[in-house]
Amino acid sequence: MIAELSNPSVFMRDPQRVEDILKAMQKAGSNTIQVISDFDMTLTRFAYNGKRCPTCHNILDNSKLISEECKLKLQELLDTYYPIEIDSSRSIEEKLPLMVEWWTRAHELLVQQKIKKDMMATAVRESDAMLREGYQLFFDRLNEHSIPLLIFSAGIGDVLEEVIRQEKVFHPNVKVVSNYMDFDETGVLRAFKGELIHIYNKREGALLNTDHFQALRARHNVLLLGDSLGDLTMADGVQDMENILKIGFLNDKVEERKQSYLNSYDIVLVKDETLDVANSIVLHLTGSK
Ligand code: TMP
Ligand code: MG
């Protein structure tokens, strides 16, 4: 039905089910669709020319805004906790307190650096952040068809907004739920606002955003994009859901994690740095090839 679903990077537990969901969603029409996407390593690239691309946190960690001493500490945290994040032998219950520890310690270190709000744009501009290939089509097409895009990120809202602003795709249909920085009256970072969003509490985050989902309650069909098993709960706040199609990027530790991704995501994209499959689905649902 969609040629891109035969790409070598595409794996599906049940292709017939994918086809049935797509048929139902296409029949219902593009005004019944909402898109919910993770940001880091889902809308952004995992690697480029063999080199890892940064997450929102890494954009700051690698910038001039952070002292050399603090960079080492943040690197130590990454070396300790990232292997836990992607360890398929540990349960989510086991990982959860360790992820809270990672986020808490990283945010404490960032706050100690007295980061200035007016330096954020430069830090992003000078970073290696890269959205996945095909991002313009993805953002522009959703906007042209007034399909709401919720970017739901355990990264840093101020950083991710700046990334999409600099790429000229921060359109009016985009809403961001993330960790936002709290700057004092002189524009210096003093804390993070609100409830912490980490990789395994997106369900709780979703349930706090009832107003957003209430406003979109006529949009019963959801396209969900993520790269971690924690991203599967991003749609838990959606009201009156009829169909959901879950697309998961499997970027790292492929063999160990493939089965669990196939069990939870309808479409698994293995080491695929593009948004081609998502774009072909969006084109299909918005009525054009
Ligand atoms: P998300 O993609 O689910 O929104 O999660 C954010 C990513 O940020 C997650 O893959 C871990 C990563 N991260 C860092 O790279 N550095 C950090 O200091 C922290 C706390 C998270
Ligand atoms: Mg992610």
Tokens of 256: 């160990």
Residues with CB under 6 A from ligand 1: 38-41, 55, 57-58, 77-78, 85, 102-103, 106, 153-155, 199, 228, 230-231
- Pairing type for strands 47-48 and 174-179 reads unpaired
What is the arithmetic mean of pLDDT over 79-94? 96
Q: Is 118 a catalytic residue?
A: no
**pLDDT single digits (tens) 98-145:** 999 999 999 999 999 999 999 999 999 999 999 999 999 999 999 999
Q: Which residue has the tokens 């690197």?
A: 75
Tokens of 67: 């002292």
Q: Is 184 a catalytic residue?
A: no
Cβ atoms of 196 and 155 closer than 8 Å:
no
**pLDDT single digits (tens) 204-244:** 999 999 999 999 999 999 999 999 999 999 999 999 999 99
What is the Å distance from ligand 1's center to 17 Cα? 31
In terms of Cα–Cα distance, which of 138, 217, 206, 207 is closest to 173? 138
What is the Å distance from ligand 1's center to 144 Cα? 30
Specify the pTM. 0.98
Query: How confident is the prediction for the chain on average, in pLDDT?
Result: 97
Atom of ligand 1 nearest to the CA of 102: 20
CA angle 35, 38, 92 (to 5 degrees): 120
Q: Which residue has the tokens 């999409």?
A: 164
Catalytic residue among 14, 20, 40, 272: 40
Residue 289: predicted pLDDT: 45
What is the arithmetic mean of pLDDT over 53-71? 97
* Nearest residue (CA) to ligand 1, atom 19: 103
- What element of type H or E holds 268? strand 267-270
